[in-house]
Structure 1
Amino acid sequence: MALLPDDEPVPDRDDVLAQSVPFDRARWLSLLPSAGWWPPELDDCPQVGGRPRVDRRAVFGTARRADTAEGRRHLLVAALVWGSGTKARSVARRAEIFPKSSVRDIEERLECGLKVLRQQGAVDAYFAFNNEQKIPHLGPAFFTKVLYFAGHDQPVGPWRPLILDSVVARALRAADRGTRWPGAGWTTPKYTRYLSLAHDHARQAGVLPDQVEAALFDYGKRLT
């Protein structure tokens, strides 16, 4: 099954890695448990139009340190920043995870979920973060970002983790008409199906799976 229309381009990997969003450092720092949660990689991001912009490469940089507690904190925050932009409401909503749980609980659940990713792969890690390692107010649209950055370049098992959010789900709804694709709250079987379809498309196109994810996101943005 084709996930994308024939005329829908799949971006180059360099273009995927360069996908960037602006962010407001001061706003984030005011909402984090402490300044120690702020990833230093984000302070090296280039300024564009008066705002720093974080791209996928920078977040992958934090993921290289995810074998430490500090690195996992930085990965979480970098993934949240990359996925939020500068709108005050969006940032505040993403940062709700911090006052709703203790620092220790967030760190323990993050460590356990990423351990599942390293040892068992993307699907089991998705289940973990959606169930016993669930961090309140960190839903699939954002914990799949954490999984993606932590595991895409060093996958375990048959599939690399990919981001699944409402925009990607909209594109899947258009392509996979025999399956119900809600705008949120995807079950583990839905995530499994998404990974299977995206990886099949990537193999046929001779690209990496995150290039397919990026193409689905671009396509989904144009759908109503």
Structure 2
Amino acid sequence: MTTLIPAVLAEALDGEARPQSPFLWTKQPWLDQMHDLPDVLSLLERLPERVSRQSTLDAVSAELKAGRVLPAFIAAMVWGWGTTAGMGALRTRWILTQTKAKSTDAISEPVDPSVADQLEAGARSVRADGALEAFRLMNNEGRILHLRSSYFTKWLYFTSAVDGPDDPKAAPIFDDRIVGWLEDPAGVPLEKNSTVSYGEYLDLLGNWGESYGRTRAQVETEIFRLATGRG
């Protein structure tokens, strides 16, 4: 895909690469929803008061190395949901329990053990097969109920950026805000839950980043910053 880069993004990429500024998160809703997961509760207590991409990568990496998939996933979701902790914790509970009801009652439903296995499969795929194949897996036969591309690409990002936030092999995040920004002002209409669109997105980030010596993850970070004020 060859599309003219928006001026505001070109200006951002032409400058010095900047790390994400840490932001405050609200712990209690996550503690409430994860009440029956001791390893997750321990992780939540260890997360810094302000989280960033780097601090989240550190947490995800440490938990995966210790074989604790769910705490690693929760670290990614805490960052992914940002300041919307109540909604984020509840919706993450829906994912963990695979509830059909999508209600506050999920707090009392048991965690489905298959979720950790599917998350681990996604993490293995993104490291072994790359971003596009991992997206295809989690969007199709490896799909987890209630976990769509806006959030499973955050999981894929944090499990693939093994050499830091700007890792050339990292799977870039592809969420609602990024898709919205790409459509307007960039003029690039993509479907957020489409594997074909994600492939086009990867090509687009690669093309835009090449002229500025930036990785796809760095281009995505700048788009995320422009779209959300974070990134």
TM-score, normalised relative to structure 1: 0.80
Structure 1: stretches of 5+ with no match in the other structure: 46-51
CA change 1:5–1:95 in 2 (3 A) is farther
Deviation at 1:132, TM superposition (A): 1.3
**C-alpha distance in structure 2 between counterparts of 1:39 and 1:8, whole Å:** 42
CA change 1:106–1:44 in 2 (3 A) is closer
Amino acid at match of 1:109: Q
Amino acid at match of 2:183: R
User: Which residue is equivalent to 2:80?
Assistant: 83
CA contact (8 A) 2:73 2:155 kept: yes
Deviation at 1:172, TM superposition (A): 1.6
Deviation at 1:221, TM superposition (A): 4.2
1:69 paired with 2:76, answer no
User: Which residue is equivalent to 2:38?
Assistant: 35
**C-alpha distance in structure 2 between counterparts of 1:145 and 1:138, whole Å:** 11
Deviation at 1:61, TM superposition (A): 0.7
For 1:181-213, what per-residue CA distance to the aligned partner results, in whole angstroms no more than 9, with x for missing partners? 24x4x2111111111111221121112322211
Runs of 4+ in 1 over 4 A off after TM superposition: none
1:94 paired with 2:103, answer no
Q: Aligned Cα RMSD in Å?
A: 2.7
User: Which residue is equivalent to 2:171?
Assistant: 161
1:213 paired with 2:223, answer no
**C-alpha distance in structure 2 between counterparts of 1:144 and 1:39, whole Å:** 24
CA contact (8 A) 2:182 2:189 kept: no
Q: Give the total of aligned pairs.
A: 208
**C-alpha distance in structure 1 between counterparts of 2:41 and 2:209, whole Å:** 34
Determine what percentage of the aligned residue pairs are the same residue.
Answer: 23
CA contact (8 A) 2:60 2:75 kept: no
For 1:59-114, what per-residue CA distance to the aligned partner results, in whole angstroms no more than 9, with x for missing partners? 111232324531x2222101100011343234322332122264421111012121
- Where 1:96 maps in the other structure, the secondary structure is helix
CA contact (8 A) 2:5 2:186 kept: yes
CA change 1:80–1:114 in 2 (3 A) is same
**C-alpha distance in structure 1 between counterparts of 2:4 and 2:60, whole Å:** 31
**Is the deviation greater in 123-132 or in 29-38?**
29-38
- Where 2:221 maps in the other structure, the secondary structure is helix
1:202 paired with 2:205, answer no
CA contact (8 A) 2:150 2:173 kept: yes
User: Which residue is equivalent to 1:146?
Assistant: 155
